[in-house]
Amino acid sequence: MKETILNKANEMFLTLGFKSVTMDDIAAELGISKKTIYQHYANKTDLVEACTMHLFGTISAGIDNIREQGKDSIEEIFIVRNFMMQHLHNESASPFYQLQKFFPKIFSCLREKQFAKMNGCMVDNLKRGVDSDIFRKDINIDFVSRIYFTGLTGIKDSDIFPHNMFDVHSTTKQFLEYHLRAIVTQKGLQILERFNEKY
């Protein structure tokens, strides 16, 4: 039952937002009493934390599986992006804005974990790209990796990228192209243009 509650709560939080969904809503969706939820999770904050850490673990494992496929650096970035869009319900910014505003400690912990994971993966991706002559040899790998993380998280800021002006899906794609065009070699540009059409 604990896992069932976790999965349903995760789905509802990502669709409707961490603040918007109540314990009553989750209980009603599952056809159980709120008391049953409290047997497994002390309060809503406990459930939100469990959901975000579970989601982070699922996405981390998925990214590790993608990295093991041995794709070139550019294709790997596109595959990871598609995987994350599927697992984050197209990365709607609203749930994570609510998480940041109403559960700041959980958000801060999640962001630290996200940065550590993404930075480690991106540094490896960039090194492989440089070695295979897809990325320029003169790039500062640590700088580019951090700019990548900053950009991906920054485009979800609804104050700067209002939802009525910027669709998260297309904005993410535009950011990836913007980012990659700055670091690719001529060989890498041909690969980028091929995958831009494919994805």
| Full-model pTM | 0.87
Give per-residue pLDDT as tens, 25-78.
999 999 999 999 999 999 999 999 999 999 999 999 999 999 999 999 999 999
Task: Give per-residue pLDDT as tens, 130-177.
Answer: 999 999 999 999 999 999 999 988 888 888 888 889 887 888 889 999
Phi, psi at 13, each rounded to 5°: -60, -45
- Asked if 47 and 5 count as a contact pair (C-beta separation under 8 A), the reply is yes
Q: Could you tell me the CATH number of the domain that includes residue 96?
A: 1.10.357.10
Helix (H, G, I), strand (E, B) or coil at 8: helix
Find, among 141, 63, 147, the residue nearest to 155 by Cα.
147
Residue 20 lies inside a defined structural domain of this protein:
no
Compute the distance between CA of residue 73 and CA of residue 96 in angstroms, rounded to an integer: 28
Q: Which domain holds residue 178?
A: 53-198
- Asked if 114 contacts 95 with a C-beta cutoff of 8 angstroms, the reply is no
Q: Looking at the domain assignment, is residue 23 inside a domain?
A: no
What is the torsion angle, in degrees rounded to the nearest 10, for the CA atoms of residue 1, residue 46, residue 14 and residue 79?
Answer: -90
Total count of domains within the chain:
1
User: Under a CB-based contact definition with an 8 Å cutoff, are residues 136 and 183 in contact?
Assistant: yes
**177 assigned to some structural domain:** yes
